[in-house]
Chain A
């Protein structure tokens, strides 16, 4: 489900609003922030997870937008432009101790025979994923898995699946080709699937074995 915009707006409108805001127009300023602030902040916050860092980066991003609006031509989408600035700024500010998980297809895809047929059984816990009683735990598993992912998969996932940008918009924001976006998106989804599979399959283990594991 995408996050819809209620009224179609052109990038030329955004450009005009930003120029007016820069000139001190309070109404234009409010409108620019109403349109973009929440989503931009959420994207930055998803990457940085720290409110203070987010505040600092967000301020820089909007100042950059206001300062550089003259270089924005209005042919490309204003929304992808501002989000590109935001993602780049957030990624630069991110101080990661270790690199995130690189998703291996070997670990996240099932085994296949040489003829391409699947060689294993696959448990179907998709109904349980919607079970309200398990929701809190499953969500925690997901959150942890998303946080563990390397930025190159995580940002694609955040932009496409969480924020609802199209593949093309995501590609523009991240300055990647669409095939690269699809590949990283697929790997992110595989990784999350595996994290949940481990969780649900552990839950399904018979109690005796769980007790032995202590």
Chain B
């Protein structure tokens, strides 16, 4: 994978975050970021969006009554004494 231009680097954002770049590619990616303000801004905001989404969605909780009801239903169906 070439990591010379802004387009090549920004196309590789997920590869980088997932650790799927070779050592050389990773170095090139990081060097590009050091020298390119807009790419660095895009990367920072890309990562921040993922992180915020992760936090927001992880707060979603399944109502506890739902868990209890599913459990009871299955107990009954399987003939398990509660």
What is A's interface to B at a CB cutoff of 8 Å?
A: 1, 21-22, 24-26, 29, 33, 37-38, 41-42, 45-46, 51, 54-55, 58-59, 62-63, 66, 109-110, 112, 115-118, 120-126, 129-130, 138-139, 142-143, 146, 157-158, 161-162, 167, 182, 185-186, 189-190, 192-193, 195-197
Contacts A54-B66, A192-B49 given; does A143 touch B78 at CB 8 Å: no
- The contact of A116 among B4, B47, B55, B70, by CB within 8 Å, is B4
Ordered by A's residue number, 16 sampled pairs between the chains whose C-beta atoms are within 8 Å are A26-B81, A116-B4, A116-B6, A117-B5, A118-B36, A122-B42, A124-B45, A129-B48, A139-B56, A142-B53, A157-B53, A161-B50, A161-B54, A185-B14, A189-B50, A196-B45
In the bound complex, CA of A172 to CA of B79 (Å): 32
Question: Chain B: interface secondary structure?
Answer: helix
Is there contact, CB below 8 Å, between B7 and A33? no
What is B's interface to A at a CB cutoff of 8 Å?
A: 4-8, 10, 13-15, 18, 20, 36-42, 44-58, 60-63, 66-67, 69-71, 73-75, 77-82
Which partner residue on chain A sits nearest B69 by CB separation?
A55
